[in-house]
Every structure is written in structure tokens, then in C-alpha cells.
Amino acid sequence: MSESKETRKAARLENAGWKTVTVQEFLRLSDEDMAIIEVKVALANRLRAQRTRAGLSQVAVAKIVRSSQPRVAKMEAADKTVSIDLLVKALVKTGVSVQEIGRSLEKITTSKGKPSRAQRLAHA
């Protein structure tokens, strides 16, 4: 069975005395914090996809959501100053249905390919 390039690299680093950890471990984030980050990133990615699919510029989206182009750029980057509420409002105002937003969130997986904490909490 062939090892992935990442697996071989991690093994080399560990053999050299380095420790490989996940982002969550490195930043000491709780499962709940990771779930919020995963949700925010999924919504930001969906907003960018919606904008490009609709052929809209960030300026056009800013007008639709009554904001500014730099703010839309921050939304698409999942900036820490952007709330999940604002992302959802922008998605709805640009024509994404609540069901489509839900489907975007269902696609969230952890780096290990397992359902994310956000998904596990949603299905509890």
C-alpha cells in the first residue's frame, strides 16, 4: 500500500525530532471553536462561489448587502471581524436558499475525513 506524500513527510519530520499536530492542537482550540471556524469558512466559500457563479463583482455584492467592497472581501476571507450572521444575510440576499446554505454546511469535514464537530452537533 502506497503512503501519501504528506504521510511520508510527517514521518521524516517526526524522525528528525519534530512533532506534527493539527491546527486545532497547535492553537489549542476546543471542538466548539473549531466547529465555529469550520462553519464560517464554509459560508465564506459559499459566498465567493455564489458571487462568481452569478458573475457579480465584490462591489456589486456590497451594493446588494448595503456594505462596502472591502467588507465583502473580508466576508469571503472568513475574517475574524465578520459574523456568521452577516455571512448568512449576504448569502440570502444574493439568492442562496436556506436549504442550499444547509447543504453547504453538511459538506464540512475534518482534516481526518470524519464528520466535523459542527456536523455532529447538528445531528445530535
Fold entry, domain 29-122? 434 Repressor (Amino-terminal Domain) (1.10.260)
Residue 79 cell numbers, joined: 475574517
Residue 107: pLDDT over 90? no
Report the C-alpha gap between 6 and 94 in whole angstroms: 38
User: Averaged over 21-33, what is the pLDDT?
Assistant: 90
The structure's pTM equals 0.75
| Residue among 94, 14, 80, 15 at smallest CA distance from 51 | 94
The answer to whether the CB of 43 falls within 8 A of the CB of 104 is: yes
* pLDDT 10s digits, 36-91: 999 999 999 999 999 999 999 999 999 999 999 999 999 999 999 999 999 999 99
The dihedral formed by the CA atoms of 87, 38, 10 and 16, expressed in degrees to the nearest 10: 80
Q: What is the 3-state secondary structure (H, E, C) of 81-92?
A: CCCHHHHHHHHH
pLDDT at 3: 77
Pick the most confident of 14-18, 26-30, 52-56. 52-56
User: Averaged over 14-39, what is the pLDDT?
Assistant: 90
Domain boundaries, the chain: 29-122
